[in-house]
Amino acid sequence: MRRYFRLILCFCALLIATAVAGQTIKWQELYKVKKKDTIYGIAKKFNITIDELIRANPAMQKADYALQKGDQLLIPYPATKPATATTPATKTANASAQGSTTHKRAADGTVRIGVMLPLHNVDGDGQRMVEYYRGVLMACDSLRSQGIATHVYAWNVPIDANVQQTINDDNARQCDIIFGPLYTKQVKPIGDFCRKNGIRLVIPFSINGNDVAQNEHIYQVFQTPAQQNEASINAFVQRFKGRHIVIVDCNDTTSRKGVFTFNLRKRLEKAGTTYSITNLKSTEASFAKAFSTTLPNVVVLNTGRSPELNATLAKLNTLTATNKGLGISLYGYTEWLMYTKVYTDYYYKYDTYIPTTFYYNPFAGKTIAVERNYRQWFKSDMRQALPRFALTGFDHAQFFIRGLHKYGDRFNGTQQQNTYTPLQTPLKFKRVGTGGMQNESFMLVHYKPNRTLESISY
């Protein structure tokens, strides 16, 4: 196990240190150099050429390189031999789907994974996707310890990549599942390739277009803002029956949350639920008149920005100080999760609900363990982003690999087939017409006044 950890670390360091221009990354071993080893002897031991060994280890290409005891060398597969086992295979999922050819799964149950994302250190896109990919590798290691074998292929697919060159690689057709791409223009060619070859394509991040409705092999994790708004409104109406709603106009001309509050008002009117509208600039007395003294109040802002939230909290503090026993809950936006370090006490105080498709809990034991392992393997912390990219990759890989391992051809990612409790990013797929599957997972993160948290799934 320790050797495998080092292999992941060495491999990801290699990803960052070298220019990976659309090639397949293949490895079979991480070898620790012994006292009497020679470069020739190591190459012969693994049936590879000296050139193949040197190309796999950039440090060996330096003019002053000398082989030292204890060095860790990445051992590639021989160029003349396939990277996967040559044992008989069985049919894979969706082989009978219209337009797809027969796809062979490994007879030993190994799940073969492809990653087609920008894996480079040139810009933020590449750096984020490298972290996502690291999470995928960590998931594979975790599953390996549970007896689930995986084989990983990875391609650097930047925004200007020759996608046709990537999918022409023979190893691409070996995959049971591919994670990617990041860019919308790459979805159709890779999606068509996956449909032709009976491969599942998981699109992990936001894209434009509606390829998921046209291609039964696509699993789209991303939900559009309109879909998230609809889910949030449905959860609101279901959760807050019999409450008085207070909508606060925050005078933010840059906000796009007006779409949410406008459609929420229409639903409230249809349901016969009372609501009032007040303004953040109104006087304290005028602000107070918008609240019910007989019904519990739910406060909704028409912006997700921090300054307006701060001003609203100040008004609520004044209001509750002079109106003891006034029932107040806050209903926020996913962006509020970024403000937890500043506003956690207020979230608890005002019984706050935050709608989201993910939740990063830094205090959960399993999350702490994965972050610790990430730090040990990659000598860095995860990026300070929400959601955490490494945890997203970890969750995605765990969900799909476990599903394929248990259900094989029958796996479709629905709630009934879920075999994994996520660290951060829950998945629950539903078919889009006669096309592919789209994630519809949605939750409310509830900060309760007794200073406990609950996650309410829908």
Residue 430, Cβ neighbours under 10 Å: how many?
13
pLDDT of residue 113 exceeding 90: yes
Q: Does residue 61 have a pLDDT over 80? A: no
pLDDT for 20: 42
Q: Within 10 A of 371 (CB to CB), how many other CB atoms are there?
A: 17
Q: Which two tokens stand for residue 123?
A: 């810009």
pLDDT at position 24: 53
pLDDT confidence of residue 43: 83
CA 413 to chain centre: 15
Q: What is the pLDDT of residue 101?
A: 54
Question: What's phi and psi for 452, nearest 5 deg?
Answer: -120, 160
Rounded distance between C-alpha atoms, residue 46 and residue 413, angstroms: 39
Range with the lowest mean pLDDT among 63-72, 219-228, 230-239, 404-413?
63-72
Mean pLDDT of 333-344: 95
How many whole angstroms separate alpha carbon 199 and alpha carbon 180? 12
Q: What span, in angstroms and rounded, lies between the C-alpha atoms of 56 and 49?
A: 11
pLDDT of 26: 59
| pLDDT of 97 | 39
Q: Which residues contact 7 (CB under 8 A, 6 or more apart)?
A: 27, 29, 30, 74
Q: What is the pTM of this model?
A: 0.78
- Contact assessment for residue 97 and residue 120, using Cβ atoms and an 8 Å cutoff: no
Instruction: Identify the DSSP state of 407.
Output: H
Q: pLDDT per residue over 8-48, tens digit each?
A: 545 554 444 444 444 455 566 778 888 888 887 888 888 88
**Quick one: pLDDT at residue 81?**
43
The predicted model gives 285-294 an average pLDDT of: 96
Give me the domains of the chain, ranges plus CATH numbers.
2-26+83-223+368-439 (3.40.50.2300), 226-356 (3.40.50.2300)
Mean residue pLDDT of the chain comes to 88
Instruction: Give the tokens for residue 273.
Output: 């639920």
If DSSP codes are grouped into helix, strand and coil, which group holds residue 96? coil
Structure confidence by residue, pLDDT tens digits, 120-178: 989 999 999 999 999 999 999 999 989 999 999 999 999 999 999 999 999 999 999 99
pLDDT at res. 74? 80
pLDDT digits (tens, 9 = 90+) for 71-93: 888 888 776 443 333 333 333 33
Q: How confident is the model at residue 53 (pLDDT cuts 50, 70, 90)?
A: confident
Please report the pLDDT score of residue 28 as a whole number: 66
Residue 295 pLDDT level (bands cut at 50, 70, 90): very high
